[in-house]
Amino acid sequence: MFINYGLQQIDLKIVYYGPGMSGKTTNLEWAHAHIAPEVRSDLLNLKTKEDRTIFFDFMQFEVGKINGLTPKFNLYTVPGQDIYTMSRKIILNGVDGIIYVADSGKDRMRDNLFTMIDLVKNLRSGQQQIETFPIVLQYNKRDLPDAMPLAHMRKTLNRFKAPDFEGVATQGVGVFETLKETIELVVNRVTKQIG
């Protein structure tokens, strides 16, 4: 969070976290395509030539007011591949809310779990506890024929009982539900902090 009282503006950071290929960039692309251009920035992708996220994707948008200040939401995705552990840590710097995008594919549960453990560790090193942090889970790729049962994903990944949603990001299913819930959690927390 960063407050600029001169501009009456508050910068808030939301990060899409999760294993590589779970659909983080797809979520952001859908949101970008369906938020009015007047209130959002362009989408910035830093990709490799194989079209995978190398460092992050970024988009900013404005919505509502917090105590008279205009909140600017800065949305980032992290790269999920193992070699980008450091990037993930850096992108979490100053984070206000997290959207954890899990992959429902049967062979992805190990990756989902490892990335969740990585997140818990990174939050802790930033003096944050996952149990009290504004975080929302999205079980994405529910359209896959081999999708893991929802109850199993919940039990494995959401022991701390954060709000969670099913998603099919390629069709926009769950994208705004997840984002809205995260914004609500973030705004509630920030309102308490600055109120």
Ligand X SMILES: Nc1nc2c(ncn2[C@@H]2O[C@H](COP(=O)(O)OP(=O)(O)O)[C@@H](O)[C@H]2O)c(=O)[nH]1
Query: Minimum Å distance from CB 122 to Mg ion?
Result: 18
Matching residue, tokens 């969070």: 1
Q: Which of residues 36-55 bind Mg ion (CB under 5 A)?
A: 53
The values of phi and psi at residue 132, to 5°, are -115, 0
Q: What token pair was written down for 84?
A: 């980008």
Q: With contact defined as beta carbons under 8 Å apart, do 97 and 12 qualify?
A: yes
Residue selected from 11, 15, 40, 53 as contacting ligand X according to rule CB under 6 A: 53
Matching residue, tokens 């404005």: 62
Longest alpha-carbon distance in the chain: 53
The values of phi and psi at residue 69, to 5°, are -95, 145
Residue selected from 10, 21, 130, 136 as contacting ligand X according to rule CB under 6 A: 21
Site string (93-122) toward ligand X, x via CB under 6 A: ------------------------------
Which listed option, ligand X, Mg ion, none, makes contact with residue 10 (CB within 5 to 8 Å by class)? none
Total of residues contacting ligand X (CB under 6 A): 20
Q: Which residues bind Mg ion (CB under 5 A)?
A: 24-25, 53
